[in-house]
Amino acid sequence: MASLWSFLFLLSSFSMFACFSSVSSEENDIAITPINRDLYHSSSDLLEQINSLVHRHPDKLTMETIANGNKGYQAEMTVVTYSRSSIKDGDDRSKFRILLSFGQHGRELVTTELALRILSILSEEQFLPNVDRDAFNSTLDKLVIKMVPVENLNGRKLVEQGDLCERRNGRGVDLNRNWSVDWGKKEKDYDPYEENPGTAPFSEPETQTMRRLALSFDPHVWINVHSGMEALFMPYDHKNTTPEGSASQKMRSLLNRVNKDHCYDRCMVGSGGGSVGYLAHGTATDYMYDVVKVPMAFTFEMYGDSTASAKDCFKMFNPIDHATFNRVLNDWSAAFFEIFKTGPNHMDEAHSKAAASGQEKFVSIDEYLDGYLMERKNRYGKKIEVLDLGMQEIRTYFRLFLLSSVLLLFMFCSRISKSMSSRPIVSALPL
């Protein structure tokens, strides 16, 4: 009998081992698609290509690299500006201003390739099919476009080193959860690997730089470009609603047009929080709309492979074959130029819309100083170290100035009050 029990125990143990081995084997058998180096540039090569493009077209493009850091963590960000005439005459404010960000999540390589393609078209080294060149140039004359081709450079480098599912920055923070609107709230399915919001709003150098850029540039249109699905999102991400009134109607109308003409009705259209299936807190687009008061703030999701395994991240977020790669870049390049063409027609409406709704741009002292110094740097070419080394001192002096002004005003009012109380009271009698 004992031997029978021993035999059954061994048999059950062997069965369990075989079962777990089978599951483990199936997991290990999942093919992980590597980065297709024939289609995708490395981050250093991509930035070098952009740098060469800028140097070949100084009449249209300028470029700056902004370094920032805290607590030993350093981050660099390249910003490319497209403008046909304001580079010479310095008049950016009279034009329609568009701010674009790509590569906020490291694993979404296709977004940065789209940035390079758009810059190539803007510089006229590549062309959109069936486009009237005179009309094209007339449209671009009205624009100033600032583009961040790779917002999350440190995270991108981790992906290139083999961590193909990494979306966060170089110290594990999701840059699209690090903004101040509804920051830090966690849903029931919160995954720190995917959505770590950082230790505080704007704790990360990358989001600090983007905030300064947005406040100084004051864009009419903001577009944050991602991959993972096909979608055209407007605010809000942190709640299942869209803004009220004509602002929402204008945004939705523009997105519906882009969806029909360039996404061929495949894209989801609506608020991120209402369409994607989960709420996202502390996102860039919600901040741009609520705080910077950008009239048209969007998040575009340009590609996703729903058949890919959750572990096969490169395939899930990026086209892997030449034909799909080119189709995606061509379709979305045309979509962006639809925005470029349509946007200036809304410029007067955008200004009157903000005035009519009372949407004044109230920002904190820190945000004002960040934006102010960044604007001076852009205009006069001062070095970025002014921002990093002098910011805290300037804030301190500014606060002391405000405090001393309030105290002096209080002392002055008190003196006036005492002086008035010491005078004899004269009654006013009717004549």
Among all residues, which ones are annotated catalytic? 301
The dihedral over CA atoms of 268, 271, 272, 274, expressed in degrees to the nearest 10, equals: -90
Strand partners of residue 156: none
Question: To the nearest 5 percent, what fractions of the chain are helix, strand and coil?
Answer: 50, 15, 35
Q: What is the DSSP letter of 171?
A: T
Closest C-alpha to 313, from 31, 28, 41:
31
Closest C-alpha to 236, from 289, 180, 159, 291:
289
Taking CA atoms, 394 is separated from 367, 372, 386, in Å, by: 12, 12, 10
Closest C-alpha to 64, from 225, 272, 209, 171:
209
Taking CA atoms, 54 is separated from 19, 379, 416, in Å, by: 58, 18, 62
Strand partners of residue 302: 230
Residue 206 burial by Cβ neighbours in a 10 Å radius (0-12, 13-18, 19+) = buried
Q: How far apart are CA 311 and CA 30, in angstroms?
A: 8
Closest C-alpha to 168, from 221, 101, 104:
104
3-state SS assignment for residue 84: coil
Q: How far apart are the first and last CA of the chain?
A: 128
Closest C-alpha to 378, from 224, 209, 262:
209
Q: In this structure, are residues 263 and 270 in contact, taking their beta carbons and an 8 Å threshold? A: no
Phi, psi of 322, rounded to the nearest 5 degrees = -60, -45
What number of other Cβ atoms are within 10 A of residue 97's Cβ? 21
Helix ranges (H only) for 57-132 are 86-89, 109-122
